[in-house]
Structure 1
Amino acid sequence: MTTINTALCSYGMSGHLFHAPFVDIHPDFNLYGVFERTKNIAEQKYPTVKTFRSLEEMLKDEAIDLVVVNTPNITHYDYTKKALEAGKHVVVEKPFTVTTKEAEELIALAEKQNVKLSVYHNRRWDSDFKTVQKVIAQGVLGDIVEAELHYDRFDPDLSYKTHKETPTEGVGSLYDLGSHLVDQALQLFGMPNSVFANLDVFRKDSKVGDYFDVKLYYDSHYVNLKSSYFVREPLPAYSIHGTEGSFVKSKADIQETELQKEIKPNTPNWGKEPESERGLLHTLTKKELIETEQGDYMTYYNGIAEAILNNKPLPVTAEEATQVITIIEAAFLSNSEKRVITL
């Protein structure tokens, strides 16, 4: 295999913005196919793409090497299982699955089939998160005492995407936005000892969770993960406090906005935030604005190519993504029983 023939399980927002543009321009990939039940939207932008009318039809195509499962959360387990059984490598959109049990079953199946399985936690390559990660790694904050990560919006209206507003398993802001924050927290600090959570619903007529406040307990510090759809004035997305200072940073990664404008990921200055969004570092010895790292979701697909073609480590492992689901499950249990859940 010299080029990875790739097929997307849908061509909604995820396929249109977060997968097709990267697969299309990457030299190691070929955007081979898309599953669309009735429409041919992908073909309008990518004339050479093959349109499939069913998942079964797509998985029977032996030319396909990699399948991207970018469908509603509740389908992740079933679609991924079928793709793995067909002998395909798989990239699954976050959240990996609804339950830890499902995730572990898929990991075992991928090993049995000798194929690669990864989860698209692309927010690891946001410019703002990369900057926070770098500052913490430099040790300038001393020992971390507390960190607070936000993914807030002001969006009181229900989504036009009915599957996001239908109360089924895997639906709600904790699975949707929370999976990003949990993954980032685990990348920064590893698995916590225990979890406590408050989950709620505030939008009028909403039937799914749209607010969460999750506290992760570590040996020497706390991490708060928060999200609300009623934050009109943005708070810092990252507030990191240590024994020698603090670092605060806005959520200002521009990649999604650029993709919405049909800007290609190989454009000069791709993923570079404006200087006005630099984070503030205030330590015992100095107070300064920190240059923001450049965001680049292509790093993920570079890693997938290396893993498939050269058997290099995956950029996001299924085991790492399973830990995210473990935290989410603990948060739901904590909220229902109003107690701290020990992991």
Structure 2
Amino acid sequence: MKTLTLGVGLVGYGLAGQVFHAPLINATEGMQLAAVVSSDADRVHADLPGMEVLPKAAALFDRRDIDLVVIATPNDTHYPLVKAALAAGKHVVVDKPFAVTLSEARMLRAQADNADRSLSVFHNRRWDSDFLTLKELIDAGSLGRVVSLESRFDRFRPTVTERWRDNHRPGAGIWYDLGPHLLDQVVQLFGMPRAILLELATVRDGAEVDDDFHCLLEYDGLRVSLLASSLVADPTPRFRVHGTRGSYVKFGQDPQEAHLQASLAVMPGMGVDPEPGQLSLVADEEDVPEVQQHLNLPGDYPAFYAGVVEMLLHGGPPPVSLESALQVMELLEVGLDSYRQARWLRLKEGNSQLRQRLHRR
């Protein structure tokens, strides 16, 4: 019996296309990267000798050997490119964020439904080592009832670049760059919040767009803080979580991005994070917490595209549901409204998943 293989076309060969999508696609059984759309053929050929490079996305969408199109381009191009790919009858993966606005994302979902095509958003940090470890601790109830979670993604990049993310254009800035990662992880843990408060700042010399944010999410009995900055040189905790039975603190970043940047290939063991977290727990009869190192579960970025193959070839569930991707878009957009109005804003529906978790306990 012949093994089915999906022909894949990649649109964009910047950081996302080069470091994440191309290596992960090439490492996925059941996928064949057939062509790349890029204005820099030399860059593509330096990494992928012999790869067909097309100058325009339309030429890729017209090809009958392409089953799946992957969009890894600047955020403000997601909507028109995904729309055109779906209209050409292709299944689509789009890098996060889904689009620049919630209305664009909703229109793309409706188009995919009407065309009976698959559409998924690359929320790869669901498969971060530290996040998988934290999720396991929370799901197991190890920390008791969680009352506080701080999630940070700090960098030290004092020089403003000429990259599109640093230019004044729709979808640029750190809120649309790192915000989707942190928001998606929290929604996976606790569902939608009851309210959101966002503060944005432009802190670097010569910066045109936001490069620092502090976001608060309100749940029943739980406060979540999300922070990201381009001007933090000292190590900060990736996660700091407190519950009724103890705390979990994790420093250091998931290693998969660094491995992919260094090798442009999926390597064995690249999801293993050697820096353990610190777990401080109390026994039922004790008040003094016992402090111990807590080893991490391995990260698994290849799981996303393996899930895409399972979905398209075998009828499995999507690795990232459109509903969850739309929830992230809603939080991004309501967060911006909160910043503009300088006040907390309530979500229409939130906290249902957390209520279910607390009820089970």
Q: So what's the TM-score if we normalise by structure 1?
A: 0.96
Corresponding residue to 1:26 among 10, 25, 28: 28
Structure 1 match to 2:96: 94
CA distance in 2, matches of 1:270, 1:164: 27
Letter in 2 for 1:256: E
Residue 271 (1) aligns with residue 268 (2): no
Structure 1 match to 2:151: 149
CA distance in 2, matches of 1:318, 1:206: 33
Instruction: Return the offset for 1:48.
Output: 4.1
What pairs with 1:88-237 in structure 2 (closer than 5 Å)? 88-161=90-163, 163-237=164-238
Q: What's the secondary structure of 1:237's corresponding residue? A: strand
Instruction: Return the offset for 1:46.
Output: 2.5
Q: What's the secondary structure of 2:151's corresponding residue? A: strand
Letter in 1 for 2:277: G
Instruction: Return the offset for 1:268.
Output: 2.9
Structure 2 match to 1:281: 279
| 8 Å Cα contact 2:246-2:280 kept in structure 1 | yes
Q: What's the secondary structure of 1:261's corresponding residue? A: helix
Segments of 5+ residues of structure 1 without an aligned counterpart are: none
| 8 Å Cα contact 1:198-1:214 kept in structure 2 | yes
CA distance in 1, matches of 2:264, 2:107: 38
Deviations 1:125-176 (A, max 9, x none): 1111111111111101111111010011111111231x11221211110100
Structure 1 match to 2:316: 312
Corresponding residue to 1:338 among 332, 342, 346: 342
| 8 Å Cα contact 2:96-2:180 kept in structure 1 | yes
Segments of 5+ residues of structure 2 without an aligned counterpart are: 284-289, 348-361
CA distance in 1, matches of 2:42, 2:86: 26
Instruction: Return the offset for 1:314.
Output: 0.6
User: Would you say how many aligned residue pairs link Structure 1 and Structure 2?
Assistant: 339
| 8 Å Cα contact 1:280-1:287 kept in structure 2 | yes
Q: CA RMSD in A?
A: 1.3
CA distance in 2, matches of 1:36, 1:137: 43
| 8 Å Cα contact 1:81-1:106 kept in structure 2 | yes
Q: What's the secondary structure of 1:151's corresponding residue? A: strand
Letter in 1 for 2:190: F
Corresponding residue to 1:297 among 272, 297, 301: 301
Letter in 2 for 1:306: E
CA distance in 2, matches of 1:6, 1:57: 14
Q: What's the secondary structure of 1:145's corresponding residue? A: strand
Q: What's the secondary structure of 1:208's corresponding residue? A: coil
Instruction: Return the offset for 1:186.
Output: 0.6
Letter in 2 for 1:46: L
Q: What's the secondary structure of 1:111's corresponding residue? A: helix
Instruction: Return the offset for 1:38.
Output: 4.7
Instruction: Return the offset for 1:263.
Output: 5.9
Letter in 1 for 2:292: E
Structure 2 match to 1:41: 43
Instruction: Return the offset for 1:54.
Output: 0.7
Deviations 1:91-115 (A, max 9, x none): 0001111111111100010111111
Q: What's the secondary structure of 1:192's corresponding residue? A: coil
Q: So what's the TM-score if we normalise by structure 2?
A: 0.91
Letter in 1 for 2:100: V
